Structure 1
Amino acid sequence: MQFMLMINEDESVYAGPEGAALMEQVLAGHMKLAEDLVAAGVPFSGERLKPAATATTLRFDNGTTTLHDGPFAETHEELGGFYIIDVASLDEALEWARRIPVPKGGIEVRPVWPMGAEG
């Protein structure tokens, strides 16, 4: 079963010289996680996203569509990246999610609903 692990984090922790060093540590952690997924035989994909300031959001309200600069919601955490992993259970997906390096934020774990699949 596929799960998407959405990395929601506070981008402000990466500001300044200390933030740049933290970013290097976090990226090294992601590289290690990818190596561990490969070693465990877990099929996966993932990408890093550009900062939330580069986002454009479409909002829909009963047939009216509005366009907004920025991320989906008013929050101090933005979607920074994601993994899609193929594992046997939610418990296994949660174990992998716990290993994602996030200095400040959270990981949303959600099952993928394959196109054309019912229920």
Structure 2
Amino acid sequence: MRFMVIVKATEDSEAGIMPSEELLTAMMKYNEELVKAGIMLAGDGLHPSSKGARVHFSGDKRTVIDGPFAETKELIAGYWIWQVRSLDEAIEWVKRCPNPMLGESEIEIRQLFDIEDFGDAATPEIREQEKRLRSETERLAGK
């Protein structure tokens, strides 16, 4: 099972306050444990929403909204993609994570869909296309 592990933003992360050397060292050690355990597929921190944008869809219309965005508690400061056996295993790994922020913080865990989750809507043609696209993205990522 693949999971996206989401580090929620805080006022500090949205203000662009960078982590200390001590926290970066702790997070790199944690990331190394994840890689050695064979579960970390990807992971990165994100710039504050002030450097981002949203695109709102309404029928055929597209509206661009520049950051920053007001609801800090709904924003993402970073993420990992993990391959683990279960949600419980992902939870156990998150419990081992150093606090990613200076003060209180929150990490959300969400399972990613696999093509099989779409049932009959994922026709053989769609499944083959998904397989081809996944192979190509892995090739481009140097795997």
Q: Normalising by structure 1, what TM-score?
A: 0.77
Letter in 2 for 1:37: L
* Alpha-carbon spacing, 1:70–1:4, altered in 2? closer, same or farther (3 Å): same
Per residue, is there more helix in 1 or in 2? 2
Deviation at 1:60, TM superposition (A): 1.7
Q: For 1:54-93, list aligned pairs within 5 A.
A: 54-70=51-67, 74-77=70-73, 78-93=75-90
Could you tell me whether the CA contact under 8 Å between 1:8 and 1:80 is conserved in 2? yes
82, 100, 103: which is aligned to 1:102? 100
1:21-54 CA distances to partner (integer Å, 9 max, x unpaired)?
x432332222011111123232421112122211
Structure number with larger C-alpha Rg: 2
Deviation at 1:91, TM superposition (A): 0.5
Aligned to 2:134: none
* Alpha-carbon spacing, 1:62–1:105, altered in 2? closer, same or farther (3 Å): farther
Per residue, is there more strand in 1 or in 2? 1
Could you tell me whether the CA contact under 8 Å between 1:37 and 1:44 is conserved in 2? no
Q: Quick one: distance in 2 between partners of 1:115 and 1:96?
A: 25
Identify the structure with bigger relative contact order (alpha carbons < 8 Å, sequence gap 6+). Answer: 1
Deviation at 1:5, TM superposition (A): 0.4
Give the root-mean-square deviation of aligned CA atoms. 2.7
Q: Quick one: distance in 2 between partners of 1:66 and 1:85?
A: 33
What stretches of structure 2 of length at least 5 have no aligned partner? 120-143
Identity fraction in percent: 32
Aligned to 1:44: 41
Q: Normalising by structure 2, what TM-score?
A: 0.66
What stretches of structure 1 of length at least 5 have no aligned partner? none
Letter in 2 for 1:74: A
- Runs of 4+ aligned residues of structure 1 deviating over 3 Å after TM superposition are 13-16
* Alpha-carbon spacing, 1:84–1:58, altered in 2? closer, same or farther (3 Å): same
